[in-house]
Amino acid sequence: MREIIIDEANFSSTAEVHSFLAAELAFPDYYGSNLDALNDCLQDIDNPCKISLYMDGLSGEDDELAAWFPKLVRSFLRASRENDALEVLVFVNNFSSLDRLLACKGMSDLLESEDFSFQSLVTKSAL
């Protein structure tokens, strides 16, 4: 199984994250580098893939990446519901990151759905 780690602290822009994803997941050249295109490409993944997303809360409150990263997490979680080849794990390092995640539009409904299991909150220091 392919394993990919996406750590919010390793990126300074959404464009960097999209470039990383396109390379790591071998997206086609026409990948549009936006969340809709990401969702489309995630549905095409056939081989098992484990995606670990780390929310570190290192970005500032007004930072574009800090505001966007929970939407990325939501996209991966939704895709994993529709594509059995995807396993998605989310690691939250602090309560401000958890607040950002839970404040993301549509996240509450996703987390409360019957086919989603919220097993534990893991901090990076516990790994």
Residue 124 or 91, more confident: 91
Please, are residues 54 and 124 in contact by the beta-carbon 8 Å criterion? yes
89-115: pLDDT as tens digits: 888 877 777 788 878 888 777 766 655
Q: Residue 92's beta-bridge partner residues?
A: 55
pLDDT of residue 22 exceeding 80, the answer is yes
Task: Give the burial string for 52-81 (b: 16+ CB within 10 Å, else e).
Answer: ebbbbbbbeeeeebbbbbbbbbbbbbbbbe
User: What pTM did the predictor assign?
Assistant: 0.83
pLDDT of residue 62 exceeding 80, the answer is no
Number of domains the chain is built from: 1
Which residue range is the domain that position 71 belongs to? Answer: 2-126
pLDDT band at 47 (very low <50, low <70, confident <90, very high): very high
CATH number for the domain spanning 31: value is 3.30.370.10
